[in-house]
C-alpha cells in the first residue's frame, strides 16, 4: 500500500476492504474510532446469523475511517458542520452542510491502497 499525501502530512492508505483490515487500520491510524467500531460490530455483526448487515456496516466505517485518517480533511468537514450550526441564515447553513456531506462522500470513495 502507498501513502497518500495532503501537503506536508502523509495520509495513511485505505486498507483492504475487509472488517479485519479496516479494524486494524482504525486501531493504528484513528484509534479514537475504535471503541465505537467495536461496539457497533458486537451489537450488529459479531453474533449475527444473517450477514445482510455487513455491507452497511462496512460502508459506514469505511467512510468514517476515510475521513478520520486525514486530519486536514476532518478539520475542514467539522469546521463546515460547526459553521452551519452557528449560521443564522438557513440557506447558508444548508449549503455548508451540503459541502461537508460532499466531502464525506468523496472521502468514502477511496479504494484500498489509496
Q: For residue 5, name the pLDDT band (cuts at 50, 70, 90).
A: very low
Cβ-Cβ contacts under 8 Å for 21 (sequence gap 6 or more): 15
User: Rounded to two decimals, what is the model's pTM?
Assistant: 0.85
Say which residue, 111 or 47, is predicted with more confidence.
111
- Inform me whether the pLDDT recorded for 41 exceeds 70: yes
- Torsion on CA atoms 86, 90, 91, 92, rounded to nearest 10: -10
Amino acid at each position: 500500500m502507498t501513502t497518500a499525501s495532503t501537503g506536508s502530512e502523509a495520509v495513511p492508505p485505505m486498507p483492504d476492504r475487509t472488517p479485519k483490515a479496516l479494524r486494524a487500520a482504525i486501531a493504528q491510524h484513528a484509534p479514537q474510532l475504535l471503541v465505537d467500531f467495536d461496539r457497533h460490530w458486537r451489537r450488529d455483526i459479531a453474533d449475527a446469523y444473517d450477514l445482510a448487515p455487513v455491507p452497511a456496516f462496512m460502508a459506514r466505517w469505511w467512510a468514517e475511517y476515510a475521513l478520520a485518517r486525514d486530519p486536514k480533511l476532518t478539520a475542514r468537514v467539522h469546521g463546515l458542520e460547526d459553521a452551519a450550526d452557528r449560521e443564522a441564515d438557513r440557506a447558508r447553513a444548508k449549503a455548508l452542510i451540503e459541502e461537508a456531506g460532499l466531502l464525506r462522500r468523496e472521502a468514502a470513495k477511496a479504494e484500498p491502497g489509496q
